[in-house]
Amino acid sequence: MLKRILLKISGEGFCGADGYGIDKTELEYIAESIKYVVDTGVQIAVVVGGGNIMRGKQLCALGIDRAKADSVGMIGTLINALILQDELERKNINAKF
């Protein structure tokens, strides 16, 4: 049996039909799915994207320097990670970052 897995969640996985932001229903579904797997004894490492908040490519199209634009995009990743951590903690899953 697997004891550890790596789960990559695209930023788009956090948003609803409108394609951006964070949808509470989607967030709860992700957290419940992770809880289900954790409850079986499997350790999960989670990697999240931030495309639902901001993409560096979008900012580059506005003329912003690529490195700065990508840094802003990474802040979107951090936002998703913190929000997911909060939701997991509400479900009594010890999330470490």
Average pLDDT over residues 19-40: 93
Confidence of residue 20 (pLDDT cuts 50, 70, 90): confident
Spatial neighbors of 24 by CB under 8 A, at least 6 apart, are none
Average pLDDT over residues 68-84: 93
pTM: 0.87
At 1 the pLDDT is 64
Q: Tell which CATH classification among 3.60.20.10, 3.40.1160.10, 1.20.1740.10, 3.30.70.100 matches the domain 4-90.
A: 3.40.1160.10
Which of the two residues, 57 and 28, has the higher pLDDT score? 28
Q: What is the largest CA-CA distance in the chain?
A: 50
The count of other CB atoms within 10 Å of the CB of residue 73 is 21
pLDDT in tens, 31-41: 999 999 988 88
Is residue 93 within 8 A of residue 34, CB to CB? The reply is yes
